[in-house]
Amino acid sequence: MQPKFLSTLIVLALFGATSPTPANGQYKLIDLGTFGGPASYLTDPGNGRSILVLNNQGMVAGRASTSTPDPGAPNACSDSDCFLSHAFRWSDGVLTDLGTLPGGNFSQASGINARGWVVVGGANGEIDPLTGSPVFRGALWKDGRLIDLGTLEGGLEVNAVYVNNGGQVVGFASVGTNPDPSGFSFLIAPIHPFIWKDGVMRDLGTFGGADALPAPNCNNQRENLVTGVFFGSAPDPNTGMYPVSAFLWDNGKAINIGTLGGTELFELLCANNAGQVAGGSTLAGDLIMHAFLWDKGSMHDLGTLGGTFSIASWLNDAGEVVGGATTPDDASFHATLWRHGQIVDLGTLDGDCASFALANNAQGQILGESYSCDGTGQRTFLWDKGVIIDLNTVIPPGSNLQLAWATNINDRGEIVGRGLPPGCFEDDQSRTCGHAFLLVPCEAAGAEGCQGNADAAAGINSATAKTNMATASPDPQRTKEFVDRLRARLAQRFPKRAGGK
């Protein structure tokens, strides 16, 4: 088993930038399929969805289950479907199995660059004496072969997080084989971030702390630009927790970008090619978390929709940040856009009570998820120039997937996520039968695969596509449970902050 790593409208602005909106608002749906097993996935399960797995050429990286049962079943499966998975690259209709590392039987993809190179991770057949679990190693797939990245300073574990367009792989690795004295590390040994290129792995250090981790890349493709978090060498005397701060490593210069006054900063961070960083930090006292944007040495509190909590998930090169925030009295949680000092409540799909924005592209289109009031269902949406669209209404009628999870949108307006075939039910804890999908605007896809779409929905002017600012009154208890679940999922990135307890 591989290690487990991670309402009130304030402003509604209609931006006039030209977007690659598909003809009649319709999309071709491509089920990326599997390797004979029940499910396919996008991104490393611990790195979250702020990873670039869809490039601007329409190539997709992920993993798909094979028909081979996981030998660790039922208690130590690599994936919750308990079938062995292999990393894949999808390109022009071809799903390529990227294989596994020598000695291993499982692999997963974490990211892809403009060249179609894919970072891959998986077991190599060894057992880590510190964790007692299979060793997890990172690799780069290019030119049809897997290249093992090696290790850092006598360590055993290596996780490749993403690869940029210059061919640099960014990840983190264990150092040495002695336990981390701080007790934080989920790998037991200390954890350092690294940059790898052409067979050389560079240790970026811990920036004076006990451990450090790189953040996902979002759309950051610059060489020698890495953001992440580092952990203090001792617990804070007031909280008993190890302080967490953000860093930006830019061409060899390490910058502590700090926090918004608290001691906790989640590793749900993003950097763009301009060197801006977005994420979430607690305020003084560590009771409230707000989204932030760091720009040229200044930390900016992006605020909320009137509540106490907000978090950023992605930003584009224009400095537009997306994520989610609570509304007044924390009555609900809505997808949010922060744009040059303005806060835009993106609302929810009709009938839903909560939403979250996952990614945005250079055209200002925003991809996200909308959640039912009873907490039992979710749908993917696209927000474009003030209109929110249920993506299930703009795919061919009779499609075999219910689009539920959103991941990436590229600058061509193509979208990847995960959907549920008929009879398949999944939640955050059990993902056993969903399939990765790609949506291609019909204008770009041509007639093939888009026949009949116009009969399925009326496009972006339909009643179901209107921004839903007057949803049914949310159940306060269910909303609180939703926000608590979101915070808990983020906190899973740091399972041992307080002295290993």
Residue with tokens 């892809």: 112
- Look at residue 69 and tell me if it is in a domain: yes
Cβ-contact 307, 327 below 8 angstroms: yes
Which residue from 163, 159, 49, 179 is spatially nearest to 116, judged by alpha carbons? 163
- Look at residue 284 and tell me if it is in a domain: yes
Dump pLDDT digits (tens) for 275-298: 999 999 989 988 899 999 999 999
* Tokens representing residue 120 in the block: 């891959």
Mean per-residue pLDDT of the chain: 84
Region 254-275 average pLDDT: 86
- Report the 10 Å Cβ neighbour count for 178: 11
The predicted model scores a pTM of 0.88
* 3 state SS of 62: strand
* pLDDT (0 to 100) of residue 496: 37
For residue 330, what is the DSSP state?
G
- Whole domain around residue 336: which residue ranges? 23-491
- Look at residue 210 and tell me if it is in a domain: yes
CATH at 44 = 2.130.10.150
Region 366-379 average pLDDT: 89
What CA–CA distance (Å, rounded) separates 460 from 465?
A: 6
Dump pLDDT digits (tens) for 445-485: 765 667 655 544 433 333 333 333 333 455 666 666 766 76
* pLDDT (0 to 100) of residue 489: 56
What CA–CA distance (Å, rounded) separates 37 from 90?
A: 17
* pLDDT (0 to 100) of residue 414: 97
Dump pLDDT digits (tens) for 393-442: 999 988 999 999 999 999 999 999 999 999 998 876 678 999 999 999 99
- Look at residue 496 and tell me if it is in a domain: no
| Residues 6+ away with beta carbon under 8 Å from 114 | 55, 56, 57, 165, 221
Which residue from 140, 109, 123 is spatially nearest to 70, judged by alpha carbons? 123
Which residue from 428, 424, 416 is spatially nearest to 482, judged by alpha carbons? 428
- Look at residue 76 and tell me if it is in a domain: yes
- Look at residue 10 and tell me if it is in a domain: no
Number of domains comprising the chain: 1
- Look at residue 246 and tell me if it is in a domain: yes
Give the count of alpha carbons within 13 A of 70, CB side only. 24
103/266: higher pLDDT: 103
- Look at residue 319 and tell me if it is in a domain: yes
